[in-house]
Amino acid sequence: MTYLSAQPYITDSWNDICYPVNPVWLSDILPDYDIIATDRQQLIVGEPIGGRKTVFGIQSADYAIIPNALIKQVVEKLFTNYALQIKYTSTGEFSISIIFPQSISIGGENVQRSIILTNSYNGKTPFTIQGQTLTSMMDNNIAVGSSMYRDICKNALMGWADSFGELSSYRNWLSRDISGKEKPKKLKGQPVEKVHQAKGQLRKIQHSRLSPELFQEQLYQMLASQVPKSSTLTETIYEHLQQRTVEKTDEKILKALPIPVQLAKQAHERLRLEQRLLGTDPSYWLMYNAVNHALFNARSSLTLNDRYKLDERVFHQIAASSFA
């Protein structure tokens, strides 16, 4: 299906994304018609501040909207000392970074711990916490990973390696699934880190059955456990990437990444810019950040969900090349 091209906007205010959003039933606006398509029963209509009413999508009758205002209420109830960075599109997709004062140093550069939440009103990007949906987290008892915020390029960096637990497990997985090739196979078979919870502590729910109260209850419990960790596997990988200098022969890696050609060109330009800004040699760390910046700032028909999926593939492929 053709999808509108969009460039993410950046804001540090909840007000820009916490506008009214409600369902409008097709049966109400077309009372003389029988709606045969059961998967197309309600319009998702939002009213952005200063804009016109916008139809973000058409969903089934049991589809539940998650208003950003509900997320804001839970975040403000749990956290007081945090900064906010939100990337959102005119097509109704949102990536929300909750940024904490705690920071770590990667090659002398400070990056801050954060929590990344995604949401959408068009159904293209699911609600996630650190890249995991509520349903998958509860069905599989997956421990939520980490994320970091890098201020120099306003990057939100997902902890793609955290679920492996140990560096040896991650490297074994890379060698099995990447096999040292420039372009990775479909990423599958990824191990998950289990969390132990009391029986009945979290009820399993489907997105279509979410009520506002149940959603906020689940979100509160999930976020309450997000105490910034002292160290994560992804941070170890970041430090390793920072220590690997990009040589002339390594530039082919950027061209072989699974991203559109135009984004690869923008990433190359960003890599050179950050090299000058930081006064340092180009590293695999800067290469990954350059691609991340291009993915989440360029105008593209890619949804935010697509961009995160590509970011994960890029991270693993660059990591595999750095260990080769």
Q: What is the mean pLDDT of residues 295-299?
A: 92
Q: Is the pLDDT of residue 140 over 50?
A: yes
153: which residues sit within 8 A by CB, 6+ positions away?
270, 274, 289, 292, 293
Bridge partners of 128, per DSSP, are: 118, 133
pLDDT tens column, 57-70: 999 888 889 999 99
Q: Where are the alpha helices (DSSP H) in the chain?
A: 26-29, 68-78, 134-140, 167-177, 212-224, 233-243, 251-256, 261-278, 284-297, 304-323
> What is the residue-averaged pLDDT of the chain?
85
Please compute the mean of the pLDDT values over residues 82-92 and round it to a whole number: 95
The DSSP line for 57-122 is EEE-TT-----HHHHHHHHHHH-SS-EEEEEE-TTSEEEEEEEEEEEEEETTEEEEEEEEEEEESS
Per-domain boundaries in the chain = 19-62, 166-189+231-323
**Number of other CB atoms surrounding residue 285 within 10 Å:** 25
Task: Say whether pLDDT at 239 is over 60.
Answer: yes
Does residue 81 surpass a pLDDT of 60?
A: yes
Q: Name the pLDDT band for 236 (thresholds 50, 70, 90).
A: very high
Tally Cβ neighbours within 10 Å of residue 38.
9
Say what the pTM is.
Answer: 0.86
Q: Give yes or no for a contact between 263 and 298, defined as CB atoms under 8 angstroms apart.
A: yes
CA distance 76 to 255: 42
Who has greater pLDDT, 196 or 120?
A: 120
Contacts with 302 (C-beta within 8 Å, 6 or more apart), sequence order: 295, 310
Q: What is the pLDDT of residue 39?
A: 84
pLDDT digits (tens, 9 = 90+) for 153-175: 888 899 999 988 899 999 999 98
Of 148, 117, 128, 296, residue with least CA distance to 233 = 148
Per residue in 245-296, pLDDT (tens digit) is: 998 777 788 889 999 999 999 999 999 999 999 999 999 999 999 999 999 9
Which is nearest to 112 in space by CA: 84, 134, 74, 135?
A: 84
User: ∠86-190-135 over CA atoms, to 5°?
Assistant: 55
